[in-house]
Chains A and B, each alone.
Chain A
């Protein structure tokens, strides 16, 4: 599920969070599903458990999951919603990006085509299921 690039400039724990969010959005992490434990993940990814712990804590802080003592961590019911709620911020990023592209003289169609392509592939994946 997770692919961590240890040589990346992006801190591991940020990579974890973003990949986690991506997992929820892409549906790889099923809603109401149990999340892999720190232990499993640490051994699987060969990552410092403390880093994982921190990433989980952040995810939990953002309300994406909750832990049941003695049982484990579960995805929050409204996780998908919360992430989507964050879409505004991402949209802002997109407009900034579009602005940059505009400055570089990239035509509107090209940009839109790229966006469409993303959505198209997303649909494709869903239909595959």
Chain B
């Protein structure tokens, strides 16, 4: 379990993370979403022990990560900008990884190499962006770490490769109970991949939730009655928004769906419809609740 409590990280004058708290349970695929500069990469670098937080602590199973090889051996980090030794091919990089990661497995490396069908003798710096990311993934997964941190995980990968990487991650989670933390500036990217999502904005987690729960916790209801009615009729229903066009009212409701359904049906509506929301819509409403404008937090998503 990765626990970040009250961490603050400053760079010179700017504050990258401010009083951030989060808990990532074991065996979870945890998604961090946020625009550029929201602090995703900084958080990953803190978890992987590259940065030391100015305040607060980052622990894995209760042990602080920073400067502790025992803990760091359990983490592998694939940054957004990849680094390979000059003129190195995959074999050379394997030697480097094998030299420092205690749990590095040569067999795993060979298997992965076949799965991605990359040429291990070719200079990595002549690879395309996507191939470089594949190479980094092979190396990272060969380390058999408990925590796999991926920054901009699917950047530059085509759909087939995305699925391959996802499948490999899932395998790590299933077979070894590994925890994966992945980031993206795109919500849709993470939606179907993660169990848990956290939205970062200006160095803080705006909200964090279970993906399955997220999608079912909010739903849209369209309802109409034969008589005149107003908002007050729905007293006791947790509404995030309410609007009425003609006789039909639409509202975003939070809570147990079945319970709400029977409650509303009991009112004998002439029209009653419950619609699921897309994750994006859930985000829009949840953030609206917290006083953020979605378009402000996840600009690219809207563009």
Instruction: Please determine if A and B sit in direct contact within the complex, based on CB atoms under 8 angstroms apart.
Output: yes
> Is chain A's interface secondary structure helix, strand, loop, or mixed overall?
helix
- CB of B174 within 8 A of CB of A49, answer yes
Number of A-B contacts defined by CB within 8 Å: 58
Give 1 or 0 for each of A20-64: 1 = CB within 8 Å of chain B CB: 000000000000000000110011001111110010000000000
Residue total for A at the interface (Cβ-Cβ under 8 A): 22
Q: Given the known A-B contacts A9-B275, A43-B167, are A49 and B212 also in contact in the complex, defined by CB atoms under 8 Å?
A: no
Distance in Å from the Cβ of B208 to the closest Cβ of chain A?
16
How many angstroms from the CA of A35 to the CA of B84 in the assembled complex? 44
Is residue B92 contacting chain A, with contact meaning CB distance below 8 A? no
Q: Nearest Cβ in chain A — how far from B276, in angstroms? A: 4
Cβ–Cβ < 8 Å partners of B191 in chain A: 6
Across the interface, A48 reaches (CB within 8 A) one of B175, B195, B215, B277, namely: B195
B-chain residues with CB within 8 Å of residue A13 when the two chains form the complex: 212
Query: Would B167 and A11 count as touching, CB distance under 8 A?
Result: no
Query: Do B163 and A51 have beta carbons less than 8 Å apart?
Result: no
Chain B 274-299 interface mask (CB, 8 Å, partner A; 1/0): 01111000000000000000000000
Shortest distance between the CB of B174 and any CB in chain A (Å): 5
Which of B163, B174, B211, B270 contacts A39 (CB under 8 A)?
Answer: B174
B63 within 8 A of A: no
CB closest residue in chain A, given B193: A48
Q: Which of A14, A38, A46, A51 has a CB less than 8 Å from the CB of B167? A: A46
Chain B residues, CB < 8 A from A42: 167, 170-171, 174
The answer on a CB contact under 8 Å between B192 and A43 is no
Q: Is B271 an interface residue (CB 8 A)?
A: yes
A-B pairs with beta carbons under 8 Å apart, 22 shown: A7-B188, A9-B215, A9-B275, A9-B276, A9-B277, A9-B278, A11-B215, A11-B276, A14-B216, A14-B276, A38-B174, A42-B171, A43-B170, A46-B170, A48-B192, A49-B174, A50-B27, A50-B28, A50-B195, A51-B212, A54-B212, A103-B270
